[in-house]
Amino acid sequence: MLHVVEQGECLSSIAARFGFHDWRLLWNDPQNEELKTKRQDPNILFPGDLVFIPLKLLTFVLPTGKRHVIVIKRPSPETLRLRLLDALDVPRDGVRYELVVDGEIRSGQSNADGEIVEKVRPRTVSAQLFLGEGDARREYRVSIGHLDPADTISGAQARLTNLGLDPGPIDGKIGPLTSAALHEFQELMGLESTGELDDKTISALKEQHGR
Helices (runs of H) and strands (runs of E) counted in the chain? 6, 8
Task: Identify whether residues 85 and 138 lie together within a single domain.
Answer: yes
Domain count for the chain, please give it: 3
Residue 85, pLDDT > 80, answer: yes
Average pLDDT, rounded, for the chain: 90
Looking at the DSSP bridge assignments, the partners of residue 60 are none
Residue 148 domain flag: no
| pLDDT at res. 61 | 74
**41: containing domain:** 2-52
Q: What is the DSSP letter of 77?
A: P
Task: Identify whether residues 161 and 134 lie together within a single domain.
Answer: no
How would you classify residue 173: left for phi > 0, otherwise alpha for psi between -120 and 50, otherwise beta? beta
Residue 55, pLDDT > 80, answer: yes
pLDDT tens, 5-40? 998 898 999 998 898 888 999 999 999 999 999 999
Distance CA 124, CA 83 (A): 19
| pLDDT at res. 107 | 94
Residue 161 domain flag: yes
Residue 59 domain flag: no
| pLDDT at res. 150 | 93
| pLDDT at res. 211 | 81
Residue 177, pLDDT > 90, answer: yes
Task: Identify whether residues 86 and 137 lie together within a single domain.
Answer: yes
Phi and psi angles of residue 167, each rounded to the nearest 5 degrees, phi first: -90, 5
Residue 58, pLDDT > 60, answer: no
Task: Identify whether residues 84 and 120 lie together within a single domain.
Answer: yes
Exposed (0-12), middle (13-18) or buried (19+): which is 136, by Cβ within 10 Å? exposed
Residue 72, pLDDT > 70, answer: no
Task: Identify whether residues 159 and 202 lie together within a single domain.
Answer: yes
Residue 119, pLDDT > 80, answer: yes
Residue 60 domain flag: no
- End-to-end C-alpha distance for the chain, whole angstroms: 29
pTM of the full structure: 0.70
Which pLDDT band holds residue 156 (cuts at 50, 70, 90)? very high
Residue 141, pLDDT > 80, answer: yes
Residue 132, pLDDT > 80, answer: yes
